[in-house]
Structure 1
């Protein structure tokens, strides 16, 4: 079954004709009398399963809503207490009181510890982090259909512009609009609303392509080496730290390598993440050769039977030639120690930069072969459609997605959860 049908089901007119099945059943029963009893048992069993799903769904929804409300109540109390603390400290400052004593009294009377929130499921994280993208796209789409009553050339031109503004990319917008022109003629569509479902179905099909998503992480039986690239500021080092925490929680032995040696801040940031998640970090002297630090990290990881080694590299895309030479040298060193490594070369891109993320993906793919993307900051932007553009133009799969700022707000990418989170409620 196609991805779109798995997510949103078939249209009513695409449902199987029950009368045809009934006639087929009569024919089969005439050949084998036992068929009728067996088929009826199968139908009853299937009906029971479907009924069970419906009941489970009905029971889950109130609980999900109650959980969301509890989360909101916790956060509201937390921020109210923080505001109260800030106000009382400010009042103490203005009145000339001893701040240290006053602050101690306030802290004792106001609990400002980070609240323990209910655990989110993976699906809930997708829904939360894609809310801005979904709402932005949904509002544009609803407004678009409200303005157009008929399907004409203006309809297709405006649709193409809407898709480009939604950061799905010029190529995706152009391809989808041309496909819709053909579909409209095929269906003899007269009203704009006739094509609403088709538009969303085409978007899903663009991501699905040949049905091979290549999202699985290339984990090895022994040491798995992951090389991370990306420009400064996209959340690359933070993603490495969160992934280190994720894998350590899963019982894996993890090690990090700080190979961005020319930027002291990058080394310090990775070292802090290592301390925070209790994972060792291999570092070299300031401005030392990145490849030599990587070599030390590879040797140490093999000697200590590490499961996952993550290498943080420089992101100076503006100095492309030097960066290319540096990454090529790192690649050679990695292969010298472990011939089939690196097993993943991952580009971190900031979803909030929209089409600029696509440009970065194009440039880095020229510098080094990429096996996947780490999509960061998706929760703070309405530009999640850029994933479709990267998939269409470069065919680089997303392998990890960052859901937010919490330490566990990262996960392995799922096409189905992403497309559901992107389009839920628009059909």
Structure 2
């Protein structure tokens, strides 16, 4: 069964018809409902319920106000002052909450992991994280697609040209947009499609087929029985170091022994940031003197990880893409040092990409793939952008799988990438 079939049902399957009630059964249901309404009305149950509520409402305070005043007077000013401060504090909180829009309050509660009652919410499932993360992309693409279909009454050349432009501006990439449009032209002629709406499902189907490619996704992290070495590359500011910190937390929570290596020695801020993440998630960080040789820091990290029987070693490196020759030489040297300690390592070389940069992320992936062999991609900041379509472009134009995805700002907002969850989150509601 293909990816589209698993996501949305069989391609050749027509929309399921809504079951129609048999005539005699429908009449019976209507009669039963009418009888119940009439019976409740006759017995005056609605009015009775309201009356009971009124009877149960207390009409007098449990404690007399005079008694409270006397108690405060006897106790002195301290209690009175405390009560006044408490009242003012609570009153201020109520005022502040009243001025916050409902959506913002709900969002704040979700971010804090608590509900309105202050109780801890159930952790988000991975499916829910995909839905939340891809909301901007899904709604943006859906709105564009709906507007596009509303503007056309017939399938002609203008239809296909504007569709191609829409796909390009949705960051699915020029190659994907051109390929899909050409296939749709062929299908429209084959099926003699006259109305644009008949091609809606076919467009989504083609997008899924383009992503499915040969059916091999290679998304799993290559964990080893002993030490697993993961080398991270990427330009500054894409969320590389933050992703490493979150992964350290994720793997430690899974019971793994984790260690970090700060090999971006030419940028002091990068080392400090990784050290702070190590402190935050309580995992050791191997560092070296400022401006020291990155390969020497990696050597120390490898030796220590093997000696201490670490399960997962995460190595942060520099991302100076503007100086490709120096970066290539540096990464090659790091690779040789790693292999000297562990011949089959690194087991993953992962490029961090900022999804919010759209097609620029695709350009970075192409450039880095020329500098060093990449086993996978880490897609960051996807929750804050409508440019999730870049994943389709990456899949079509590069033979590099997305292996990790960032879901947001929280410490556990990172996870393994799953094609089906991603495509469902991206396209659900459009078919």
For the aligned pair, the TM-score class normalised by the smaller chain equals 0.7 to 0.9
For the pair 1:203 / 2:192, whether they are aligned, the reply is no
Higher Cα Rg, which structure: 2
Task: State the distance in 2 between where 1:106 and 1:217 align.
Answer: 51
Provide Cα deviations, 1:270-326, integer angstroms capped at 9, x if missing partner.
000000000000000000000000000000000000000000000110111111110
Q: Secondary structure at the match of 1:151?
A: coil
Task: State the distance in 2 between where 1:200 and 1:234 align.
Answer: 30
Correspondence for 2:248: 244
Correspondence for 1:48: none
Please give the residue correspondences for 1:16-415 in structure 2 after superposition, counting only pairs within 5 Å.
Answer: 114-116=112-114, 117-415=121-419
Choose 246-255 or 183-192, whichever is displaced more. 183-192
Correspondence for 1:5: 5
Q: Secondary structure at the match of 1:180?
A: helix
Provide Cα deviations, 1:51-88, integer angstroms capped at 9, x if missing partner.
xxxxxxxxxxxxxxxxxxxxxxxxxxxxxxxxxxxxxx
Task: State the distance in 2 between where 1:373 and 1:164 align.
Answer: 22
Q: Secondary structure at the match of 1:221?
A: coil
Could you list the runs of 5+ residues in structure 2 that have no partner in the other structure? Answer: 17-84, 95-107, 115-120
TM-score, normalised by the number of residues in structure 2: 0.76
Correspondence for 1:70: none
Provide Cα deviations, 1:244-270, integer angstroms capped at 9, x if missing partner.
000000000000000000000000000
TM-score, normalised by the number of residues in structure 1: 0.77
Q: Secondary structure at the match of 1:318?
A: coil
Task: Please state how far the C-alpha of 1:209 moved relative to its aligned partner.
Answer: 0.4
Task: Please state how far the C-alpha of 1:115 moved relative to its aligned partner.
Answer: 4.7
Task: State the distance in 2 between where 1:301 and 1:149 align.
Answer: 64
Could you list the runs of 5+ residues in structure 1 that have no partner in the other structure? Answer: 17-101
Q: Secondary structure at the match of 2:252?
A: helix
**8 Å contact from structure 2 (residues 261, 314) kept in 1:** yes
**8 Å contact from structure 2 (residues 4, 11) kept in 1:** no
Q: 1:146 to 1:15 in 2, by over 3 A?
A: closer
Task: State the distance in 2 between where 1:358 and 1:316 align.
Answer: 17
Task: Please state how far the C-alpha of 1:187 moved relative to its aligned partner.
Answer: 1.1
Task: Please state how far the C-alpha of 1:12 moved relative to its aligned partner.
Answer: 6.2
Task: Please state how far the C-alpha of 1:240 moved relative to its aligned partner.
Answer: 0.2
Q: Secondary structure at the match of 1:341?
A: coil
Task: State the distance in 1 between where 2:93 and 2:204 align.
Answer: 49
Task: State the distance in 2 between where 1:419 and 1:115 align.
Answer: 27
Task: State the distance in 2 between where 1:171 and 1:201 align.
Answer: 17
Higher helix share: 1
Provide Cα deviations, 1:336-389, integer angstroms capped at 9, x if missing partner.
111100000000000000000000000000000000000000000000000010
Task: State the distance in 2 between where 1:209 and 1:223 align.
Answer: 33
